[in-house]
Amino acid sequence: MNSRVGQAHSIDVAAATQFQGPGAIIVDDFQREITDALRRTSVLDGRMQYVPATGDISTYYEQNTINGGASVDPRNPSATATSNPRTPHGLKIKAITNQVNFGHYDVILGQQQANFPELKAKDLNDMLNGVALHHGRTLWRGTDTSLAVPTTLQYMGIPKQITNTFTVGAAGSIVSAIRAKVAAMIASELYELLPSAIYIHPIAHHYLEEEERLAGNNNTQISNLKKTTVAGLEVLAVMTAAGLLPIIPEPFMPSAVNATTAANTDYGVAIVTESMIEYHYVGEKGIYLFQMGTVTDLQEKYVAIKYGAPVAKGPGYAHAYGTIERPTITAVA
């Protein structure tokens, strides 16, 4: 149902008839269930932390050092007073909205045909799903370049926030690069890190599986190693210095044509500490739904809106983002 009206024209009623016979005239009808296999959210959305925002600029503090500590003569001990600096960080709250209108004539006609409640419920649900879909996509591919001083109305995508980066060349091992980066994070003397998941572009995931299929040691690294991520979803896992990490295909992960080889694509992969990825929301963590008053155009209008913004805390040490160069495989449109 929508507010658009097509151009009027006359038709031959007989043309709409499927069958005519003694005591029977069969005309077109349609299944009440609409074929719908559309994607509506991202995996990350169901696993990251949701916390109330502290204000229009949601602020948190980060500590990056523990000062002091020295070896001394036990018979002549002395100490120097120290303090530990804590740095404030902020992120601007964003908004995502969507709207659907139902024309008065369409509403009445749909009610008369006894199919309006189902269609209205689906359209309202799809309006909310449109917000969730944009939210899930921009968690990874949001175009803003600053958390506190926005340059666009979109989120600052998680990959843009992460400053600990790595690359996997066309001939490089995906598994080796991931394990090496995790090992480097765990080896930090300054931070006690525990990465919890690896999010990867599905096509890069395919190449990772192919790499392991052809490798001699795949039984010890990935093959038969699995981990449950969300209820009902079990994925492959890789053994790392941080233990067994799930490898989660994420369709919203960025990808771009390689700068030097046009036939190749750089597919994104993120090693993340999910407890340090937060979504700061205003009001409620879900989506608001409002019904607007009917005005002179006699339309029922519904508006959905979501307030919040994601932040990857510890972008230089708690997470890592990389690109995997491989031959391009075109995703299904």
Average pLDDT over residues 180-207: 94
> Which pTM was predicted?
0.83
pLDDT for the residue 109: 79
pLDDT for the residue 225: 56
Whole-angstrom CA distances from 325 to 58, 185, 251 are 36, 22, 17
Confidence bin at 213 (pLDDT 50/70/90): confident
Nearest residue to 161 via CA among 321, 1, 5: 321
**Cα gap 55→33, rounded to integer Å:** 43
Whole-angstrom CA distances from 186 to 33, 64, 318, 320 are 50, 16, 10, 12
β-partners of residue 5 are: none
pLDDT for the residue 37: 60
pLDDT for the residue 78: 87
pLDDT for the residue 38: 60
Return the structure tokens found at 55. Answer: 């204000």
pLDDT for the residue 304: 92
The single-letter code of the amino acid at 180 is A
Distance from first CA to last CA of the chain, Å, rounded?
25
Nearest residue to 54 via CA among 285, 281, 258: 281
For the chain, the average pLDDT equals 85
- 292 or 159, which is more confident: 159
pLDDT for the residue 300: 83
**SS3 sequence of 44-88:** HHHCCEEEECCCCEEEEEEECCCCCCCCCCCCCCCCCCCCCCEEE
Give the tens place of pLDDT for each residue, 14-57. Answer: 556 665 656 555 666 555 566 656 666 788 888 889 999 999 99
Give the tens place of pLDDT for each residue, 235-270. Answer: 788 889 998 899 999 999 999 999 999 999 999 999
Question: CA torsion sign, 243 to 247 to 252 to 257?
Answer: positive
- 212 or 306, which is more confident: 306
Give the tens place of pLDDT for each residue, 274-311. Answer: 999 999 999 988 899 998 877 777 888 889 999 999 99
Confidence bin at 1 (pLDDT 50/70/90): very low
Burial 210-243 (b: 16+ CB within 10 A, else e): ebbeebeebeebbeebebebeeeeebbbbebbbe
Radius of gyration (C-alpha) of the chain in whole angstroms = 27
pLDDT for the residue 125: 86
**Residues 299, 153, 131, CA angle at the centre, nearest 5°?**
45
- 180 or 225, which is more confident: 180
pLDDT for the residue 221: 56
Confidence bin at 231 (pLDDT 50/70/90): very low
DSSP-derived 3-state class of residue 27: strand
Return the structure tokens found at 84. Answer: 């530990």
Give the tens place of pLDDT for each residue, 94-127. Answer: 999 999 988 888 778 777 777 667 777 888 888 8
pLDDT for the residue 121: 80
Confidence bin at 166 (pLDDT 50/70/90): very high
Percent of the chain whose pLDDT exceeds 90: 51
**Cα gap 161→221, rounded to integer Å:** 29
Instruction: Please give the backbone phi and psi of residue 264, each rounded to the nearest 5 degrees, phi first.
Output: -110, 160
